[in-house]
Amino acid sequence: MLNLLQMLVSKSSSLLQQLPVQLKLLAVFLVLLYKWYSFRISSVPPSPRKLPVMGNLHQISIYPHRSLEALAQIHSPLMLLHFGSKPVLIVSSAEAASQILKTHDLSFSDRPKTAFFKKLLYNFKDVAMAPYGEYWRRMKSICVLNLLSSSRVRSFRYVREEETESMINIIKQSCTLSSSASSTSSVLNLTELFLKLTNDVICRVALGRKYSDRGEGRGRTFMELSGEFMELLARINIGDYIPWLAWYTRLNGLDAKLDSLAKRFDEFLDMVVQEHIDSSKGSEGDEDAGQKDLVDILLSVQKEDTVGIPIDRVSIKAIILDMFVGGTNTTFTILEWAMSELLKHPSIMEKLKNEVRRIVGDKKGMITEEDLVEMNYLKAVIKETLRLHPPVPLLMPRIATKNAKINGYNIMSGTLVLVNAWQIGRDPKSYNEPEEFIPERFLNNVIDYKGNDGFQFIPFGAGRRSCPGIQFAMAVQEIALANLVHNFDWILPDGARGEDLDMTENPSLNRNYPLQALAIQYSC
C-alpha cells in the first residue's frame, strides 16, 4: 500500500512538472481564489436579508442604536449588515466588544473616511478620526501629555468651581430662601443652564475666555455650531456607502450644510488662534501672564517641537475642534440626563442629597472639589447615567485593516465596525433589571469608565482609540451635580410626579424636550 501511494505521488509530481508555466500560475491563482472565497463566505456572522443596492440601510431609523438593538435581538449580538455595498459588523455584547477593543484592538484601530469628518475635521487632522498611524500617535500623545493629563485637569479646577458657582447664583436668584414649594419662583430651564455651564467651562479652558464677556456673543455662536455638528452627525450620508449616489447629498442640501458649518467653524477657530498668537507676542518674557489655556499650550508645543511630526496651524484648529465639540456634547448630555433621572426618581435624589449634605456637614455655600473625594453615591449616579444614556451610543466607527476571526466568525479586511455601547449597557446578561435606574449597582465594585472589567460598561470606548478626555468630563459632572443637590431641593413644575417626566430623546441623543424644574433653596 505504501509503495502504491509513493508511486501515485511520484507520477503526480511528474505530470505537474510537464504542465506549461501559464497553467501552473492559473492553478495557483485558482487555489488562492478558492481559499479567499471560502474565507469570505464560510463562518460569517448572522445577517438579515438585504435589498439590492441599499443593503440594510432601509432598516436603520433616525435612532440607529435602537434599530440595531432590534435587529441584534433577532439575529445575533455579533451581526453582519451591509450599508450599500459596505460590510458593517455590529457588536452588541460585552464579550464581542472585548474581542474588538482588546484582543484584536490593533486590527480595528483605524477609522473610516467619511465625507462628514473629512469636511469638518480638516481632512482627518484631528485626533478622534485621524487614520491610525504616526500622525495619530503624535497628536494623541500631545493631547494626553499636554492637555488631558491628571495634573492639567487639576490645574483647571478653579474654572470648574467658578463657573459652577455662577450657575448656582443664577438659580438662587430665581428662588427665595424657603423650604416650601409655594415660595419657588418661575420654572428653570435646566437644559439651557447646563449647556451654558458646559460651554463656558470649555471655552475658558480651551480658548482662554468665554468670548461673550465683551458682548460679542461668540461663545454662544460656537455653542450653536456644536449643536449643528451633532445634528448633522446623526444623519446618514448615502454617498459614503453608495458612491454613485453621492450626488444626492447635493440635492438634499447636506453638502451645502456641511460646507457652511465647516466654513463658520474655521473662521471662528482661525480668529481664536490668531488672537493667541498676537497676545503671546505682546507678553513674551512675562512669567505672570497667567494660566495657559489649551490654545496657548498647543502653540507652545508647535514652537518648541523640533522632533517628530510637526504640528501646524491646521492641526491646532482640528484638535481644538475635537476638544470643544466632544467635550461640550459629552459633558452637557451626561449632566442633563443625570438630573432627569434624579427628578424621575425622588428617592434616589433624596439618597444623593443625604450623602452630599452629610459629608459637607454645616458647610454653607459652594462645595469644592476637595469635598467630592468620599461621595461614592454621587459617582455611582453618574456611572448609572452613563450606562443608560451613553453620550455616543454607537462608539466612534472603526474599520478592519486585516482579516480577523471574532468569536469564531471570519471578518474581512475593510469591514466597518460599530460597537453598540447603548445596548451593551442594557444587556440582561450583565445587569439585573437593566432598564431601571439603580445607582447602587455601581457601589462596592471595581467597574471603571475604561471597559477594564468585562467590557459591559464602555461609555467612552476602550483600547487605543478610547476617549482621552474622561477625567475632564467627570470632573465637571461631579462638581456641578454635587452643588445642585447641596444648595437646593428640586421638584417638577405643576405638581408633576417623577413618573410623569418625559424621557424621550431626540436624534442628537439629548432630551427631546428641555428639562424644566423648580428649585427651593436649602438652608442648612
Q: What is the pLDDT of residue 181?
A: 46
Report residue 226 as a C-alpha cell. 456644536
298 occurs within a structural domain: yes
100 occurs within a structural domain: yes
471 occurs within a structural domain: yes
Q: Which residue, among 74, 87, 202, 229, has the nearest Cα to 148 in the 3D structure?
A: 202
Q: In sequence order, what are the beta bridge partners of 86?
A: 83
Q: What is the pLDDT of residue 282?
A: 61
1 occurs within a structural domain: no
Cβ–Cβ under 8 Å, residues 181 and 492: no
Domains of the chain: total: 1
Q: Which residue, among 135, 157, 136, 138, has the nearest Cα to 146 in the 3D structure?
A: 138
Cβ–Cβ under 8 Å, residues 398 and 465: yes
Q: Which residues contact 169 (CB under 8 A, 6 or more apart)?
A: none
Q: Which residue, among 293, 335, 347, has the nearest Cα to 479 in the 3D structure?
A: 335
Q: In sequence order, what are the beta bridge partners of 521?
A: 488
In whole angstroms, give the CA distance from residue 372 to residue 342: 18
For residue 206, what are the domain limits? 42-521
**Amino acid occupying residue 299:** L
Cβ–Cβ under 8 Å, residues 46 and 79: yes
19 occurs within a structural domain: no
Report residue 205 as a C-alpha cell. 479652558
Output the tens digit of pLDDT for each of the chain's 524 residues.
Answer: 445 444 544 544 554 455 566 565 666 666 565 555 554 555 889 999 999 999 999 999 999 999 999 999 999 999 999 999 899 999 999 999 999 999 999 999 999 999 999 999 999 999 999 999 999 998 998 888 887 888 888 889 999 999 999 999 999 988 754 444 444 457 999 999 999 999 899 888 888 887 654 444 555 667 778 878 888 887 788 889 988 888 888 888 889 999 999 999 999 899 999 999 988 776 655 544 457 888 998 998 888 765 567 789 999 999 998 888 887 878 889 999 999 999 999 999 999 999 999 999 877 778 999 999 999 999 999 999 999 999 999 999 999 999 999 999 999 999 999 999 999 999 999 999 999 999 999 998 878 887 777 899 999 999 999 988 888 889 999 999 999 999 999 999 999 999 999 999 988 788 999 999 999 987 65
In whole angstroms, give the CA distance from residue 497 to residue 215: 40
62 occurs within a structural domain: yes
Q: What is the pLDDT of residue 20?
A: 64
16 occurs within a structural domain: no
- State how far the alpha carbon of 456 is from the alpha carbons of 143, 329, 396, 449, in Å: 27, 23, 17, 10
Q: What is the pLDDT of residue 34?
A: 55
C-beta contacts of 243-248 below 8 A and 24+ residues apart = 245/84, 246/115
Q: What is the pLDDT of residue 352?
A: 97
Q: Which residue, among 411, 519, 465, has the nearest Cα to 129 in the 3D structure?
A: 465
Q: What is the pLDDT of residue 86?
A: 94
In whole angstroms, give the CA distance from residue 448 to residue 465: 17
In whole angstroms, give the CA distance from residue 125 to residue 118: 9
Residue 385: give its domain's CATH number: 1.10.630.10
46 occurs within a structural domain: yes
